[in-house]
Amino acid sequence: MVMEVSVRRRRVLKGALGSAVLFAPGPWASVWAQSDGALSLLRLPKVALVLGNSRYKESPLKNPANDAAAIGAALRGLGFDATVKLDANRAETDAVVQAYVKTLATRQCVGLFYYAGHGVQLAWRNYMVPVDADIDGVGDIPKQCVEVNSLLEGLIKAANPLNVIILDACRDNPFGQLKGLDHKGLSQMDAPINTILAYATSPGNVASDGEGANGLYTENLLREMKVPEAKLEDVFKRVRLLVRRQSKGGQIPWESTSLEDDFWFIPPKAIAKIADDERNRAFEQHLKEWEEAKTSREVVKIEAFLRRYPSGEFSELAQQELDALLARQGEKRIEVPSQADNPFSQGFVRANLDFKVGDFYSYRVLDIQTKEVKRVLPGIITEVTDDKVIVGNGGFVFDRMGNTLRLNSGLRFTDNQNMPTEFLVGKRWLTRYKIFLPQMPPGVFNLAEVDYRIVRRERIRVPAGEFDCFRVEGRGQAVTRLGVASLSYVTWWAPEHVRRFIATEVVSVPPPTSKFPPDSDRSELLKFRQT
């Protein structure tokens, strides 16, 4: 249960919340109380355009037409008004895409666009290849293919409430050794507003056409989208896990999202606010299952946990553990090529978890208003185990992802995921965890919950230098019997260069019953050393 912090200990917690150097409780996750936006989406009409191209003059494909027909049938069964077009030429593709975008703008409905077939990227732009394309040089691609980026521009103008774009278009290059094509597959694109953009495989890589009646990606998508009460983003996360495992890391689906509200192919029968005691019981169950899965160190149990809780309070931790276990088993996971020059994306970076003994990170903590330096926090890593990183004499401990387990002040934390396994704009994840104060009886703790979002990339300068960072924003709460301490923050990460955060700004407001004023801190990387 959640217990209060005594007034004399309130300063300890307030200081920890204020610095937010090592953890940052956040806002109550939308999973518990659906917004009016999520409810209104379920009342809207649903329109889909499904394209599948198999009968190419050169490099014909076996499954895209099958995939499109199956997706169209599934969507109709889920209440979509679905138009299915198979083996379309350039003129036909242009016509149906334009009609689709016009329908979305007119009806202001939920839209879903699906394409299976050959796809190609040129100068960071993605193209769907019609069946009549006759490509002799790269200059023919814009003339004879249909640009995905123009579809996105049309959806932005349509301004409908929700769009799902699915591109199973990452087969091998249909143009052989055509000069001027520097990358395989499709280029990374960041999803426009109110959109989730799903690739059959990660940018710059190719997907399997499948050995059965459907491609590997669509085969799994067809199954997962029919699971009752599965949130849209959970559907894609489960598909990603299944395809990765079935391909032994050779194909890993990828998504970019800017969604603000939840959506279901098959929604719950009733959507209502869940009582605090019920969500507390659910959290205790999630924590118990995670600890059992983690302790097992077995791929099958971590996998099962991720399938059950693809967006849960411990999903990032479970993903990191799965990555580590599969790497030890020899999985050769594909990687996303650099997107440094891509004008349509702010990039993708995996978290750098390679902490070493001797790594050193020092931060200065300033008052945001006065700019006064309150304290300096040095830390040299003295020990690294399979699951912990120990700083100094052991008073400060974090896990292999960088999530804090213990502070020098004596504060302790259950497993938490205050940083992600992957950085890309639009990514959201949540965490919930307990905070134990020093010298308090067993079972006495505060409860923190956070729903994170990466909002953009920007350059910032701190004493340690200038960094190109992912910016994470949020508002937080930590619950005690005295009331709710609210928190707003911004954190900057540069995972390509530094394993820990670059800077964070926190404004914490104690419960109304507290005697302490609000606190505002900015923590900046002063200097660091990494081996």
DSSP symbol at 264: B
| pLDDT score at 394 | 92
Mean pLDDT, the chain, integer: 88
Q: Rounded to 5 degrees, what are φ and ψ at 298? A: -115, 130
Q: Regarding predicted confidence, which is higher, 227 or 278?
A: 227
Burial 294-304 (b: 16+ CB within 10 A, else e): beeeebebbbe
Q: Is 95 helix (H, G, I), strand (E, B) or coil?
A: helix
Of all residues in the chain, the percent with pLDDT exceeding 70 is 90
Question: Which tokens sit at 158?
Answer: 């349509």
| pLDDT score at 443 | 83
- Pairing label, strands 146-147, 125-128: antiparallel
| pLDDT score at 279 | 85
Question: Which tokens sit at 164?
Answer: 């799902």
Return the bridge partners of 391, or none: 381, 396
| Res. 140: pLDDT tops 70 | yes
| pLDDT score at 425 | 96
| Range 98-112 average pLDDT | 97
pLDDT tens digits, one per residue of 499-522: 999 999 988 888 888 888 888 999
- Helix runs in 247-368, H state only: 276-296, 299-308, 315-328
| Res. 349: pLDDT tops 80 | yes
| pLDDT score at 58 | 82
DSSP symbol at 491: E
| pLDDT score at 365 | 96
Q: Rounded to 5 degrees, what are φ and ψ at 231? A: -65, 150
| Range 350-361 average pLDDT | 95
| Res. 22: pLDDT tops 50 | no
Of all residues in the chain, the percent with pLDDT exceeding 90 is 70
Question: Which tokens sit at 107?
Answer: 């009806």
| Res. 13: pLDDT tops 70 | no
| pLDDT score at 11 | 40
Domains defined along the chain, listed by start? 7-32+347-529 (2.40.360), 36-257 (3.40.50.1460), 276-328 (no CATH)
| Range 341-360 average pLDDT | 94
Which one-letter amino acid corresponds to residue 326?
L
| pLDDT score at 29 | 33
pLDDT tens digits, one per residue of 415-459: 999 999 999 999 999 999 999 988 878 788 989 988 899 999 999
Question: Residue 204 in contact with residue 337, Cβ under 8 Å?
Answer: yes
| pLDDT score at 88 | 97
- Pairing label, strands 110-116, 162-168: parallel
| pLDDT score at 183 | 73
Q: Is 383 helix (H, G, I), strand (E, B) or coil?
A: strand
| pLDDT score at 26 | 30
| Range 112-132 average pLDDT | 94
Global pTM value: 0.90
Instruction: Categorize the per-residue pLDDT at 254 as very low, low, confident or very high, splitting at 50, 70 and 90.
Output: very high
